[in-house]
Amino acid sequence: MLALRVQPAGPVEAQGFPMGTFETTAFIRIDPDGTVTLLAKNPETGQGVKTMLPMLIAEELDADWATVKIAQADADQSKYGFQLAGGSLSTPLNWQPLRQVGAAGRQMLLTAAAQTWKVPVAECSAARSRVTHGPSGRTATYGQLASAMATVPPPDLASVTLKDPKDFTIIGTTRAGVDNPAIVTGQPVFSIDFTRPGMLHAVFEKCPVFGGAVVSANLDEVRKLPGVRQVFVVKGGTNLEGLLPGVAILADSFWQAQSARRQLKVTWAEGSTADESSAGYAKVADQLGAAAPAMTMRTDGDVDGALKAAGGGVEAAYSYPFFGHAPLEPQNCVAEFANGRLELWAPTQTPSFALPMLAQTLGIEPSAITIHLMRTGGGFGRRLTNDFTVEAAWIAKEAGVPVKLLWTREDDMTHDFYRPAGYHYLKGAVDAAGTIVAWRDHFVSFGKNGQFANSANMGPDEFPARLVPNFALHASLMPTGVPTGALRAPGSNGIAFVVQSFIDELAHKAGKDPLDVRLGLLGATYLPAKAPAGLFPAFEPARMRGVLELVAGRSGWRARKTSSGRALGLAFHYSHMGYFAEVADVSVDAEKRVRVHKVWVAADIGSQVINPGAADNMVQGAVIDGLSQLMYETTIENGRAKETNFDAFTPLRMRQVPAEIEVHWLKTAGPPTGLGEPALPPIIPAVTNAIFAATGERVRSLPLSKHGYRWA
């Protein structure tokens, strides 16, 4: 058994991530029969980290990947460091630490072999789970060295030598997902499949208006229904991210629990959120947008003077709606509370954040809680919030038996943490040379007392800040009782639509090629050519120019032929440390039916693409996800979500997917960064810009369906 403690490299703690230590006892196990088992530390939500992170260890360990086994780690920050599926952070936070884990293990194996053979360590080498002594030709498998290795002191990590990338044999090669065989054969690998002996099935009815409380319910009638074992009111609290009021029903099967729920009659105290609606937000946003902004987030140069010199410039209002996550697997959790201890089997993206909330809600110490990380059938940011785990834990404690809580599709869509809507009131100007010389954005969003709601903010350095000489970003906030949260590429998934559409609009107003206007922006000389060091580097215009020129070349942008009803659209965006530029080939017929024929993607995520096949798949999935966001929305009416199932909240169908999504990688200096999110934002404006080029209609608000468009 290998036991190391590895401090992560880089300025991680200082940037808000309580990394802790890496104890490789939990990462590497070598059995006498030669089996090498590697632990995947982060939650697997379909982004491929259960395969990718062990690849980093295996590479430096010189393990034979064909015989490596991979297991999912439980939640334990003291052993594994910070565990998270979100923010495209798995790669940047673990790239060096996990390679150090593998390199330290390799060094211990070499030392064990050298001591066994009484030869210098320098004469030994490792490859494919075997150590070889060069001069004599003697070899030993890792299994044969396991016992001797256990007696070797862990090396000083400062002395651990990491491989030169030219010597990689695993990193940079395509490896199939470790769960793929089980998934395609229908094996129970997802959280929703998990069961415990003696458990009851639970459903939890909450107020359709966010945060509403229980006044009364027909509990006695429901208790008499077939299979029902317990029914009780959960008082809950007011924290939308925690345990809310509701009625729990426990039965012998989910079908019985859900059937009983249909007979449940609850009187609710809906509260003031019942007065809120999407239409009401839009009306208030227009009023705020026309008034003086409440906050100034950034000003550069003289925007008013530049706009006046340009004859007033171009003015436009853009907006995007609330949007739900709608993962294929709805929220679920198995909980067992006994003898003052809680054990959870949960598909959470943030186990490190779930732990303190569970402890506080149940009134127990975090040390009395065990969280087993389950494979998730999609998350997209929804499972960053742990409300469903708290519900399951509370119900299990009250019931006194193991409980499996399962949300219905309607629960999932009507009790989400939605991507907040956003409203942008813009003015801009372009000079005769096609240079954007003025940009003003009055951003109306959600929040109160000067504080943005969750995921409703926009940073002062958001592109094109620092690249336009006369720039201003203002903000005004309106309150909301609707729970908001991070959706895949949070912030960027709406902001990219606004920014890249308005750049396109300014380019066409000036009669310039949208590509040239963008390249002109990225050619500014007053930004550093090289970003400062750190985990979250600043935007580097040269890297974005690289992917923009690459995608323009691959798509034939310069030679494009625009016909009535069919055209190319272009957009780029920097988010989550990734540089992505995309071109969409789009046609629109006389009935406003839209078809995206092909998409070209150019990407820069640093010096390595760790698992290329999975990376291509991730980008293609992000493009499809972004296309889905074009046509539908979550509508708030009377303080509740109107869309309750996939009949009204319709993701892209297979027949509507582009015939080809072509992905190209541009490798640049620097450690690799994450991939789960940055490919999504550019596709939305790439399509809307193509629609303008094809039809002459500028789309300034989403979804497209509100403008009469539909998929072909």
Q: pLDDT band at 15, cuts 50/70/90?
A: very low
- pLDDT the model gives residue 203: 99
**Which tokens in the block code for residue 318?**
């853009």
- Within 301-419, strands assigned E span 314-320, 332-338, 341-346, 369-373, 403-406
pLDDT higher than 80, residue 2: no
- pLDDT the model gives residue 9: 36
Cβ atoms within 10 Å, residue 15: 12
With a pLDDT cut of 90, the percent of the chain lying above it is 92
- pLDDT the model gives residue 13: 42
Looking at residues 595-608, what average pLDDT do you find? 98
- pLDDT the model gives residue 157: 72
Residue 423 bridge partners (DSSP): 319, 444
Residue 40 bridge partners (DSSP): 72
Dist CA 291 CA 445 (whole Å) = 14
* Contact partners, residue 654, CB within 8 Å, separation at least 6: none
Looking at residues 307-328, what average pLDDT do you find? 96
- pLDDT the model gives residue 23: 63
Q: pLDDT band at 8, cuts 50/70/90?
A: very low
Looking at residues 290-302, what average pLDDT do you find? 97
Considering only residues 305 and 153, tell me which one the structure prediction assigns the higher pLDDT: 305
- pLDDT the model gives residue 159: 83
- Within 134-198, strands assigned E span 139-141
The answer to whether 372 and 345 have CB atoms below 8 angstroms apart is: yes
In this structure, the strands spanning 36-40 and 593-604 are unpaired
Q: pLDDT band at 11, cuts 50/70/90?
A: very low
Instruction: Round the average pLDDT of the chain to a whole number and report it.
Output: 94
Dist CA 69 CA 49 (whole Å) = 14
- pLDDT the model gives residue 18: 53
* Contact partners, residue 248, CB within 8 Å, separation at least 6: 202, 203, 204, 205, 230, 231, 232, 233, 234, 395, 398, 399
Q: pLDDT band at 322, cuts 50/70/90?
A: very high
CA distances from 251 to 289, 392, 467 (A): 51, 14, 60
Enumerate domains of the chain plus CATH numbers. 5-163 (3.30.365.10), 191-271+331-406 (3.30.365.10), 278-323+418-524+538-711 (3.30.365.10)
Q: pLDDT band at 323, cuts 50/70/90?
A: very high
pLDDT higher than 60, residue 531: no
CB-count exposure of residue 80 (10 Å: 0-12, 13-18, 19+)? buried
Q: pLDDT band at 7, cuts 50/70/90?
A: very low
Model pLDDT for residues 651-671, shown as the tens digit of each residue? 999 999 999 999 999 999 989
- pLDDT the model gives residue 538: 81
- Does the pTM of the predicted model rise above 0.85? yes
- pLDDT the model gives residue 156: 77
- pLDDT the model gives residue 19: 53
Dist CA 237 CA 214 (whole Å) = 11
Q: pLDDT band at 564, cuts 50/70/90?
A: confident
**Which tokens in the block code for residue 80?**
């594994």
